Amino acid sequence: MSTLILLTATGLGLAALYFLVASGLSLIFGLMDVLNFAHGAFVAVGGYAAWTVADHVAGTLGLALALPVAVAAGAALAALTELLIIRPLYARPLDQVLATVGLGLAIPALLQAVWGADPRTWTLPAWLAGTLDVLGARIPTVRFVLIAAALALLGALQLLLTRTRAGLIVRAGVENREMVAALGVDVHRAFTGVFALGGAAAGLAGLLDGLYQGSISPGDGTSLLIFAFVVVVLGRMGSLTGTAVAAAAVGLVQQFANYLSADLGDESVVILLAAVLLLRRRDLKGRPA
């Protein structure tokens, strides 16, 4: 029983991370049709920004300061990416994606240049470093923080999308960008906004990934990105709840498979993806006209 709970908590913790990364990717893809390969770099930048703050200011205060810094760093980088890289290539969709591939290579390398290739250790405040007892299972507190953060983000995004004008524009833009523009809405600003929002979530993911692993290294974001892609594809690109469900599924499947056999976890995700894609072939080719 306690193993089951532990596995579930670990799986959901991982799922939370996936969701933080994938939600931004999914929003960007849904609205702009851009598959953003630089998203992992946003995660890494957020992570390093947070780590730097916490390195200077110890304890809970450092963490409290690191949070807005990580979010802001991710958002700023993403907004800049949209303005400087994505927007000028608007008429060249493939090149947009290729440019993000270039960024995805360059930014982690830059991080490595500044902070070195070796992992930097996070020192967690005492209250975070411990474990919580749930029905006999000792679960690291950080996982609850992760899950809480993901749920908070899900809730916030859901509110943003359903209750605000900005959300209205995004939801409408996913359906028909031209018509949104024809109603007098500046779609490009919405694009930048969504990119920044995704970047903010990625920055948060960078911070939390550091807490989860206890350390950060330049390539962390990129390895998260691959699973986030899987989640986005499984969650039917552009759908927030779909992304959340897919993230939970991937995290849980991975952990439970890992428990069965040490190497099976990641492979099981691949098998899951292949299976679902094959069953759902039609959707990916686009809805019928």
Within residues 132-191, the interface with other proteins by CB under 8 A covers 165, 168-169, 171-172, 174-188
Do 65 and 222 form a contact (C-beta atoms < 8 A)? no
Taking the complex as a whole, the smallest distance from the CB of residue 261 to other proteins amounts, in Å, to: 11
What separation in angstroms does the CA of 158 have from each of 51, 150, 164, 171, 259? 29, 12, 10, 11, 33
Among 65, 72, 110, 134, binds other proteins (CB under 8 A): 110
% helix, strand, coil for the chain, step of 5:
80, 5, 15
Is residue 55 a contact point for other proteins (CB under 8 A)? Answer: no
8 A C-beta contact, residue 246 and residue 17: no
Q: Which CB, 20 or 107, lies closer to other proteins? A: 107
CA 238, CA 71: separation in Å to the nearest integer? Answer: 22
Strand partners, 137: 134
Residues 202-241 that bind other proteins (CB under 8 A): 222, 226, 229-230, 233, 237
CB of 250 to other proteins, least distance (A): 11
Q: Which is nearer to other proteins, 148 or 270 (CB)?
A: 270
Give the integer Cα–Cα distance in Å for 243 and 59. Answer: 33
Token pair listed for 251: 């995290």
First to last CA, the chain: 50
Residues 10-49 that bind other proteins (CB under 8 A): 33, 35, 37
Q: Measured from the CB of residue 117, what is the shortest distance to other proteins in angstroms?
A: 10
Q: Residue 198 interacts with other proteins (CB under 8 A)?
A: no
How many residues touch other proteins under the rule CB under 8 A: the total is 71
Shortest reach from residue 185's CB to other proteins, in Å? 6
Distance of CA 42 to the CA centre of its chain: 9
Stretch of residues binding other proteins (CB under 8 A), selected from 5-13, 72-80, 81-89, 206-214: 81-89
Residue 121, helix vs strand vs coil: strand
Q: Which stretch binds other proteins (CB under 8 A): 85-93, 132-140, 197-205, 240-248?
A: 85-93
Burial of 14 (0-12, 13-18, 19+ CB in 10 A): buried
Closer to other proteins by CB, 118 or 186: give it. Answer: 186
Sketch the per residue contact string, 237 through 276, with other proteins: x for CB under 8 A, - otherwise: x------------------------xx--xx-xx--xx--
DSSP 134: E
CB-based contacts of 159: which residues, under 8 Å, 6+ apart?
167
Distance CA 94, CA 81 (A): 16
Task: Determine the interface stretch with other proteins among 57-65, 91-99, 129-137, 140-148 (rule: CB under 8 A).
Answer: 91-99
Compare residues 65 and 85 and give the one whose CB is closer to other proteins.
85
Q: Which stretch binds other proteins (CB under 8 A): 2-10, 66-74, 127-135, 280-288?
A: 280-288
